[in-house]
Amino acid sequence: MNLSFPMLHVVLPVGISFYTFLSMSYTIDVYRRDLKATHNPTDFMLYVAFFPHLVAGPIVRASYLLPHAKSPGDCARGSENGIWLILMGYIKKVVVADRLAEVVDWGFSRQVRRLGTRNSWLVL
């Protein structure tokens, strides 16, 4: 007996299950009345395609994320904090990491037997 099923050649976006679960989460929040249904498609698309949560996860409830997106005061303070964190990370990279790179490169270019205890702790 030979069974054959028709193949559909459909290209699905990467992470389709994540989009599906987020859409279900929104629908469940509206059904439970934890969230009032939005009439603005941009708000819904913001929730479903919010990039940081798409990449890192976990699934965040719409009743938590959408009210935060609507309050501009919180967004402005968050932006200031974000810019500060980016600036501090850049300074740490340029000032600290680039200076230590010379020592670490020197240590990794040596053979393991020739690297002493003190130097190995410095490299690591």
Give 37-78 as a DSSP string.
Answer: PPS-HHHHHHHHT-HHHHHH--PPPHHHHHHHHH-HHHHHHH
What SS3 class is residue 114?
A: helix
Domain ranges for the chain, please list them. 13-70, 72-124
pTM here is 0.48
Q: How far apart are CA 18 and CA 4, in angstroms?
A: 30
Note the pLDDT tens digit of each residue in 13-68.
Answer: 777 787 888 889 889 989 999 888 888 888 888 888 876 766 666 777 777 777 77
